[in-house]
Amino acid sequence: MPYPKATHGGEATVPAQPSFPKLEAEVLQYWEIDQTFQASVEARPAGENGSNEFVFYDGPPFANGLPHYGHLLTGYVKDVVPRFQTMKGKHVERRFGWDTHGMPAEVTAEKELGFKTKADIEEYGVAAFNDACRKSVLRFTSEWRDYVTRQARWVDFDNDYKTLDRDYMESVMWAFKSLWDKGLVYEGFKVMWYCWRCETPLSNTETKMDEVYKDRQDPAVTVSLRLETGEEALVWTTTPWTLPSNLAAAVHPDVDYVTVEHEGRRFLLAEARVAAYSRELGEDAAERIVARYKGSELLGRRYKPPFPFFEGQQPNAHQILSASYVTTEDGTGIVHIAPAYGEEDKLVTDAAGITVVGPVNPHGEFTEEVAPYVGMHIFDANKVIVRDLKEAGLLLRHETYDHPYPHCWRCDNPLMQRAVSSWFVAVTQLRDRMVELNQQIEWVPGHIKDGQFGKWLANAIDWGISRNRYWGSPIPVWRSDNPEYPRTDVYGSLDELERDFGVRPADLHRPAIDDLVRPNPDDPTGKSMMRRVPEVLDCWFESGSMSFAQVHYPFENRDWFENHYPGDFIVEYNGQTRGWFYTMHVLATALFDRPAFRNCMAHGIVLGDDGQKMSKSLNNYPDVNEVFERDGSDAMRWFLMASPILRGGNLIVTERGIRDAVRQAVLPLWNSYYFLALYANAEGVEGAWRTDSTHVLDRYILAKTHDLAASVRTGLETYDISGACASVREYLEVLTNWYVRRSRDRFWAGDKDAIDTLHTVLEVVSRLAAPLLPLTAETVWRGLTGERSVHMADWPSEDLLPADDALVVGMDRVRQVASAALSLRKANKLRVRLPLARLVVAAEDVAVLEPFTELLQDEVNVKQVELTTDVAAHGHFELVVNARAAGPRLGKDVQTVIKAVKAGEWSASESGVVVAAGIELREGEYERRLVTGDHGVAAPLPGGSGLVVLDTDVTPELSDEGVVRDLIRVVQQARRSAGLDVADRIALVLEVPGEVERAARHHEAFVASETLAESVSFGPVGPDAEEGVVGDGVTVRVGVSRK
């Protein structure tokens, strides 16, 4: 049966230059009709109690936006690994998930409804607002489905999970209750980063997300606080709006402070900061120091606050306190403390028994407590406050301060620090155990374990999990509305709610859940009621619960979950070490005392072609759909999977890079398949699985395929996907540019060993490439075998193929030598078809080349190959120091290095490190030149393991033979232009100049055999003849006709 043995609805041929996007569309349609994905999962049984399952966690994206390159990259990894595990025989469910709750959804709904504040929502109605959120998060599901399908990612959309589902939310409720029962959840009043637009606090994980910190200009002021002793303590702040709430000042107890007299006033500041204030205090300020103190001597000194709003209300307020975090790196060495708006500030005032005051409402506006600024937004009030300080004579310096400042990741407004009541997970109690459990996780790249993730764990703080919002899982806490009869109830299931409230909620969202009210059992008067606290959970708490919540644990699937936890694999970008990976790890540690996953890949970030963040306005990245239509999904997949981004680096996406993927992988695989089909079909033979050929090239490519199977398996088992891609790429180079090219004559002759061997290795390679090039591999596999799908096939064991380490070492060395020699040809403008007299190979391991001298002779096109182990007799390396490059770094030592190099006193290690005069030279600071005493030109072999010397003298006889080989190339092109089959015999007519005719007549038999010419004649040819160039630019014309 001719190739292709099966198609996907296209033409029953193997095209030489296919449209890969068209082929991919045919495969995708075939998969949909055939239900190949479902069949591939069902064909691998889960086993008793799920013993044969590979558990993959698919991180849920926010569903209210369209997918982007980051999703594309992660999605490919999420497809590669399950495909591989499925082919290895594992049952791999690929359930898609949606992250539907939280501020991303709320912000979208607010924009669509034209709302700007929570008051707008309350007036509209929570029920109606949450309905709007529900609609917004499900809007783009069809677009996601189309996108994911086009990238050839197999996922189960029909059995997806959503964080808004009641079952999912019940599992989240159980998690909260379990933490409560363990004493790991508490309500606290802490200073947190707070979004005044969204009117809710943010957790430390959210404020550490990428791009949260953005450059911002703020006013920085230095203000004097008048001490009762008459001195004026100078404080510096970039938040003037907090000065009306000032309750203390802080110094470091061990820092040296001084009083500087200036224009009749005495200013107190750290001695180390006096010079920084020379403009205000005078250049000679250090000469006017009138007193010195240790910080500890200043403690307890009282001062008049810069504003009177809270003066005299607390006995311990408005005095100097001790704080170890005070530095002299900037500012004055004395810190202004407004504990409602600074986390460290509040710790200091708490220790001093000072109660927080917070004259700013949830919208970020001043309240009536500070009457002059009431109703002003804090950032707008800065200018007015600075003006008032200046008028009061308290402003010493006013400047603009450029600094990175956190912004809300959801609405992009600048945040504020604010003391708020919030619910927390006591992560600090779990921290040591989290660090221990992290050691059980295999990270890719490995440095994440003790680096980015490990350091984050080691410094973890309690996690603020409540949000003062609407659309999310409710915090399942009910409290008495009368503090005289306190009671708190925490619920962990629908059954518990039904038991106490007499109704089983159909919906756990607000406001339905808020309507569950009952009398307080601890109130003998029967008047107080149990009401739910108003907050909802951080959406990261919900996504962190996905491992158990997606299967409705512990209410269903208890045994299955406990036997399959932790999951086998998870992948997202490396910023999730502070996000999803982290929240999953916190909950896994707290709830199960286990890690949440066994293997985790944390890849880098995709950047635009200018190295910046991808931006529609900058138009700095190729449109995904355009790439799919032009190059295909496999090209995009290969470009991303083969890149360093999977090892944690960042990747710049360019059209050239994607097209290179076609050249590196897709085309070589296809061209090899096309080549097999062309010659096998021409001979009317069918390739078969065989590994017993004795031909050296067949044995070599079979052994290389054996090694490839082992390498790709190891790479994918260890989640080194880019390493697996590198192995495939290197192999395809060998297959196409060595095996196929060197075997052309055998295929031309219909050699069954060659056809069967190529058929066999392509069967193996299409299976090995199936996870990496699923669409192209499918077409090749089905064309080769006629079977249902490569993704239904088993992963090929390397044991199916013969290993031959010695042959591989020898032939690889031949390829190295040939590459070096051909590079010399190119550098000296000696075309490959021009034969040369001699090639010398000098290396210690030349013995491995002895069986292949004829092959090497033919490949390099030389008449003689000479092998020797005496490297020194044929050449040596000289080192030349680039003084201009090395001078700036080495200074005077550069002359010492140059003298040592000239004296030959330098060395190079096996790794290539060059040392002269005991000084290590860097790349670019020197040049290594190979010098040969032989006649010809020389080139080093890889790693300095030897050298080759090529004789470049061209005799008349060699020149004639080269011209004839050029002529044969023109004839072959004429055959192709005439549409002749590879086996067609021809009559050949040559219209050539005299010197070319002389050479051709001398080698006429060679010309005839190489071109399948039954006759060769010389004379004029027709107007449709093929024209070409031979030798040094000589034009020839040839005519061919089928015999």
Instruction: Assign 3-class secondary structure to 458-496.
Output: HCCCCEECEECCCCCCECCEEEECCCCCCCEEECCCHHH
Residue at 829 is within a domain: no
* pLDDT > 70 fraction of the chain, expressed in percent and rounded: 99
Number of residues that make up the chain: 1043
At residue 250, the 3 state secondary structure works out as: strand
Question: Measuring CA to CA, which residue among 988, 975, 978, 991 is closest to residue 1034?
Answer: 991
Q: Is 616 annotated as a binding residue?
A: yes
Residue at 228 is within a domain: yes
Say what the pLDDT of residue 879 is.
Answer: 84
Together in a domain, 374 and 510: no
Q: Give the list of residues 6+ apart from residue 789 with CB closer than 8 angstroms, or none.
A: 31, 34, 36, 39, 40, 778, 781, 782
Question: Measuring CA to CA, which residue among 731, 766, 773 is closest to residue 636?
Answer: 773
Q: What is the pLDDT of residues 703-751, one digit of tens each?
A: 999 999 999 999 999 999 999 999 999 999 999 999 999 999 999 889 9
Q: What is the pLDDT of residues 54-92, one digit of tens each?
A: 999 998 888 777 788 888 999 999 999 999 999 999 999
The amino acid present at 284, given as its one-letter code, is D
Average pLDDT over residues 262-280: 96
806 sits in which H/E element: helix 805-827
The model's confidence at residue 44, banded by pLDDT at 50, 70 and 90, is: very high
Report the interhelical angle of 774-785 vs 667-683 (nearest 10°): 10
Torsion of CA 138, 140, 144, 145, to 10 degrees: 70
Average pLDDT over residues 287-296: 96
- Report the sign of the C-alpha dihedral through residues 403, 408, 409, 412, in that order: negative
Residue at 194 is within a domain: no
Together in a domain, 259 and 389: yes
More confident residue, 936 or 957: 957
Question: Measuring CA to CA, which residue among 787, 774, 792 is closest to residue 153?
Answer: 774
- Is the model's pLDDT at 285 over the cut of 80? yes
Q: How far is CA 967 from CA 245, 408, 648, 1043, in A?
A: 92, 71, 52, 20
Report the C-alpha gap between 337 and 164 in whole angstroms. 42
Q: What is the pLDDT of residues 156-205, one digit of tens each?
A: 999 999 999 999 999 999 999 999 999 999 999 999 999 999 999 998 88
- CATH number of residue 659's parent domain: 1.10.730.10
Angle at 680 between CA 674 and CA 686, to 5 degrees: 115
The answer to whether the beta carbons of residues 896 and 917 sit under 8 Å apart is yes
- Is the model's pLDDT at 967 over the cut of 90? yes
Residue at 302 is within a domain: yes
Say what the pLDDT of residue 907 is.
Answer: 85
Say what the pLDDT of residue 58 is.
Answer: 94
- Which member of 576, 664, 816, 972 is catalytic? 576
- Is the model's pLDDT at 615 over the cut of 70? no
Residue at 582 is within a domain: no
Q: What is the pLDDT of residues 795-832, one digit of tens each?
A: 999 999 999 999 999 999 999 999 999 999 999 999 99
Is 151 an annotated catalytic residue?
Answer: no
Is 99 an annotated catalytic residue?
Answer: yes
Residue at 225 is within a domain: yes
- Is the model's pLDDT at 599 over the cut of 80? yes
- Is the model's pLDDT at 610 over the cut of 70? yes
Tell whether omega for the bond before 802 is within 30 degrees of 0, i.e. cis: no
What is the residue-averaged pLDDT of the chain? Answer: 94
The amino acid present at 919, given as its one-letter code, is I
Q: What is the DSSP string of 955-983?
A: -HHHHHHHHHHHHHHHHHHHHHHTT--TT
Torsion of CA 364, 369, 374, 376, to 10 degrees: -30
Residue at 58 is within a domain: no
More confident residue, 47 or 83: 83
Structure tokens at 958: 């060699």
| Segment among 490-504, 644-658, 867-881, 955-969 with least mean pLDDT | 867-881
The amino acid present at 899, given as its one-letter code, is K
Structure tokens at 16: 């030489």
The answer to whether the beta carbons of residues 260 and 266 sit under 8 Å apart is yes
- Which member of 540, 738, 781, 906 is catalytic? 540
Report the interhelical angle of 956-977 vs 994-1002 (nearest 10°): 90
Report the interhelical angle of 696-717 vs 752-768 (nearest 10°): 10
Residue at 725 is within a domain: yes
Q: Tokens 């090995």 identify what position? A: 768
Say what the pLDDT of residue 909 is.
Answer: 78
Is 540 an annotated catalytic residue?
Answer: yes
Together in a domain, 741 and 615: yes
Report the C-alpha gap between 587 and 205 in whole angstroms. 14
- Which member of 613, 752, 863, 902 is catalytic? 613
- CATH number of residue 402's parent domain: 3.90.740.10
Q: What is the pLDDT of residues 515-568, one digit of tens each?
A: 999 999 999 999 999 999 999 999 999 999 999 999 999 999 999 999 999 999
Together in a domain, 528 and 639: no
Together in a domain, 650 and 770: yes
Together in a domain, 920 and 963: no
Say what the pLDDT of residue 617 is.
Answer: 64
Is 616 an annotated catalytic residue?
Answer: yes
Say what the pLDDT of residue 61 is.
Answer: 85
The answer to whether the beta carbons of residues 729 and 772 sit under 8 Å apart is no
Number of domains in the chain: 5
Together in a domain, 614 and 714: yes
For residue 35, which phi and psi values (nearest 5 degrees)?
Answer: 55, 45
The domain of 1020 spans: 956-1042
Three-class DSSP labels, 642-662: CCHHHHCCCEECCHHHHHHHH
Average pLDDT over residues 345-363: 95
290 sits in which H/E element: strand 289-294
Say what the pLDDT of residue 614 is.
Answer: 76
Say what the pLDDT of residue 1026 is.
Answer: 93
Q: Which residues of 427-449 are buried (b: 16+ CB within 10 A; e: fewer)?
A: beebbeebbebbeebebbbeebb
Q: What is the pLDDT of residues 855-884, one digit of tens each?
A: 999 999 999 999 999 988 888 878 889 988
- Is the model's pLDDT at 785 over the cut of 80? yes
Say what the pLDDT of residue 740 is.
Answer: 98
- Is the model's pLDDT at 20 over the cut of 90? yes
Together in a domain, 924 and 983: no
Is 22 an annotated catalytic residue?
Answer: no
Among the three residues 350, 378, 406, which one is the final residue of a domain in this structure? 406
The answer to whether the beta carbons of residues 879 and 927 sit under 8 Å apart is yes
Among the three residues 487, 502, 534, which one is the final residue of a domain in this structure? 534
Together in a domain, 297 and 231: yes
The model's confidence at residue 931, banded by pLDDT at 50, 70 and 90, is: confident
Helix residue ranges, H only, 88-200: 103-113, 118-124, 126-137, 141-150, 166-181
- Which member of 60, 474, 566, 622 is catalytic? 60
* pLDDT > 90 fraction of the chain, expressed in percent and rounded: 82
Among the three residues 796, 824, 857, which one is the final residue of a domain in this structure? 796
pTM of the model: 0.87
Average pLDDT over residues 581-604: 97
Together in a domain, 239 and 343: yes
Together in a domain, 250 and 287: yes
Q: Which residues of 588-626 are buried (b: 16+ CB within 10 A; e: fewer)?
A: bbbbbeebbbbbbbbbbbbbbbeeeebeeeeebbbebee
1042 sits in which H/E element: strand 1034-1042
- Which member of 158, 616, 888, 1023 is catalytic? 616
- CATH number of residue 973's parent domain: 3.30.2320
Together in a domain, 380 and 488: no
Q: Give the list of residues 6+ apart from residue 814 with CB closer than 8 angstroms, or none.
A: 849, 852, 855, 856, 859
- Is the model's pLDDT at 936 over the cut of 80? no
